[in-house]
Amino acid sequence: MPERRPRLEGKVAVVTGAGTSGEGVGNGKAAAVLFAREGAKVLLVDMAADRAEETRVMIEEEGGVASVFQADVTDGDECAAMAQAAVDRYGRLDILDNNVGISARGSVVDVTEEIWDRIMTVNVKTIYQASRACIPKMMETGGGAIVNISSIAGLRAHSQAPYTTSKAAVVGITISMAGDHGPDNIRVNCIAPGLVYTPMVAHRMNDEQREARKNAAPLRTEGDSWDVAYAALFLCSDEARWINGVVLPVDAGLLTVTPVTYNTISGQARF
C-alpha cells in the first residue's frame, strides 16, 4: 500500500471561532485540529484569545502547526488583518472555515430587534467580512476552498426565527460565492450540522433531552463536533476538487424523516 500524503499538506487554513464556548471540543476547534492533523498550518481566529489558545495547545501537542489571531470577525478591518496575518505567518492562504455563529430562540413575535440584528451580524456578516478579506489572498496563489457552517435549522423550522433566517442566508451566500468565485478556482461549500452534541448546546440540555435528540434521526446515534469537522476536512481537501456550491447536511439523516418535529426549546420530539 502506498504511503498516504496528508490531505492538506502545504496548505494554510484560517478557522474562525476556533475556540470553544465551554469545556470540550466545538465545531471550530475540531476542524482546526483535523486540518492541522492533515498537514495544514492553521490560523486560529477567535475574539476570545484564551479559547483559541486551548486549541493551539491541543494542535501543538499533536505536533501540528497553529497560532492564535484575536479578532472580532464582524469587523472588516479585523478580518483584513486576519487574512494578512495568515500570509505573513505562513506565506499563503488556501482554506477558510467560516465557523462563527450563535443561536437565539423564539418566533418573530418574541425576538427583540436588538437580538435579530445581532444574530444576522454574527452569523451572516462575518462570512461576508472574512471571505471578502481572504478571497483576494487565495487568488494570489491560484485558488482555495471555503466552507461555511450553516445548520439544518436553516432548512427547517426550529422555533428559532432569527437563527433559522441567518442559517438560510448562509446557504444563500454559499451559492452566490460558489458562482462568483468558481472561475477563480475557489470552491465554496456549506455544511448544515444537525442536532450535534457540542459545548455550544450542552449547557442547556438534560439527559432526557439529549436522548430525544439522539433518537430523532434515523441513525439513532449521537453526533458531535468531529462529525462536522470531518465533513469540513473533506470539502476543503483536493478530494472535493469538483464539488462547489453544495449544502451538506451532517445530521444522521434527520432531514429525511420530516415531518418529525423536534422543539429545541422544550426538548420534546414529536413523531
Ligand X SMILES: NC(=O)c1ccc[n+]([C@@H]2O[C@H](COP(=O)([O-])OP(=O)(O)OC[C@H]3O[C@@H](n4cnc5c(N)ncnc54)[C@H](O)[C@@H]3O)[C@@H](O)[C@H]2O)c1
Q: Given the complex with ligand X, which of 132 and 185 has the nearer CB atom?
A: 132
209 binds ligand X (CB under 6 A): no
CB of 10 to ligand X, least distance (A): 25
Number of residues that bind ligand X (CB under 6 A): 30
- Count of Cβ atoms closer than 10 Å to residue 117 Cβ: 12
Residues 130-149 that bind ligand X (CB under 6 A): 149
53 contacts ligand X (rule: CB under 6 A): no
**Does position 162 bind ligand X by CB under 6 A?**
no
Taking every pair of Cα atoms in the chain, the longest distance, rounded to a whole number of angstroms, is 60
Site track for ligand X across 9-38, x = CB under 6 A: -------xx-xxx----xxx----------
CB of 157 to ligand X, least distance (A): 15
Which among 222, 221, 248, 251 is positioned nearest to 234, based on CA atoms?
Answer: 248
When asked if residue 100 is in the footprint of ligand X (CB under 6 A), the reply is yes
d(CA 5, CA 96): 21
Summarize as ranges the residues that interact with ligand X (CB under 6 A): 16-17, 19-21, 26-28, 46-48, 51, 71-74, 99-101, 122, 126, 149, 151, 193, 196, 198-201, 225
